[in-house]
Amino acid sequence: MAGIFSNGIPQNTIDRMSDLKPKGWDKEDEYLENAAKQQKREDSLQPKPKFELIEGTNEGEYTCAHCKYQFRYNVREMKPRNCPYCGKENIHIY
């Protein structure tokens, strides 16, 4: 039984059901849906900083999201606020 899910509904019926839009769906709704998808893609492509706490100290090893420079970050004093290499404020450790 190729193309049939365990609930007994054929695959092509499910594909057609996913294409259905609610009543009143128009071009503006289509635009907003595409804009939300684009924003989601852009958010996933942004670089993420890396932080690893050094045990026994108040410091952690931080990797800058912009330039990938690694430096020590003091968690108690929250210093340095900016990356020592590129100067971008990207310390968001809570």
Type of residue found at 6: S
Q: Which of 86, 60, 54 is nearest to 72 (CA)?
A: 60
Residue 1 has pLDDT above 80, yes or no: no
Domain ranges of the chain: 47-94
Whole-number average pLDDT of the chain:
78
Type of residue found at 60: G
Residue 28 has pLDDT above 50, yes or no: yes
Q: pTM of the full predicted structure?
A: 0.46
Residue 94 has pLDDT above 70, yes or no: no
Strand ranges (E), 5-92: 50-53, 59-63, 70-74
